[in-house]
């Protein structure tokens, strides 16, 4: 999500009396970022399970072990969302003819 310039300008104005140049700090931070923070496509547990051809419980187990990235939605129910990129990377690593099962 992109931060509105009005917010950045307000913070800059608030920190100016303290000698902190927030505008410069923000521009420096933005220039170091290689990609947007939330550019990843996120899947529901059910979608991730269908994509990986495993059960929802296997996806939950992978999340618990930390092998795929997840986030919880801000909705009241706190839905778990799975990073499609991390899931693809993990699945690509799983493709091993000598491996019997996960």
Higher-confidence residue: 37 or 84?
84
**CB count in 10 Å sphere of residue 54:** 16
Cα–Cα distance measured from residue 34 to residue 51, given in angstroms and rounded to the nearest whole number: 27
Q: Specify the pTM.
A: 0.53
What pLDDT digit, counting tens, does each position of 2-21 carry? 667 888 888 989 999 999 88
Q: What is the pLDDT of residue 39?
A: 56
Q: How far apart are CA 61 and CA 84, in angstroms?
A: 16
For residue 11, what are the contacts with CB-CB under 8 A and spacing of at least 6? 22
Query: What digits encode the pLDDT tens for the residues 30-83?
Result: 776 544 455 568 899 999 999 999 999 999 998 888 888 888 877 667 788 998
| Phi, psi of 18, rounded to the nearest 5 degrees | -95, 5
pLDDT band at 23 (very low <50, low <70, confident <90, very high): confident
Helix/strand/coil percent split, the chain, to 5: 55, 10, 35
């Amino acid at each position: 999500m992109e931060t509105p310039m009005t917010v950045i300008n307000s913070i800059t104005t608030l920190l100016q009396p303290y000698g902190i140049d927030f505008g410069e700090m923000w521009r420096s931070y933005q220039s170091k970022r290689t990609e947007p923070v939330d550019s990843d496509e996120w899947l529901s547990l059910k979608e991730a399970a269908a994509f990986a051809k495993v059960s929802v419980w296997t996806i939950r187990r992978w999340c618990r072990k930390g092998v795929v990235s997840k986030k919880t939605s801000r909705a009241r129910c706190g839905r778990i969302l799975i990073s499609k990129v991390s899931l693809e990377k993990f699945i690509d690593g799983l493709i091993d003819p000598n491996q019997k099962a996960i």
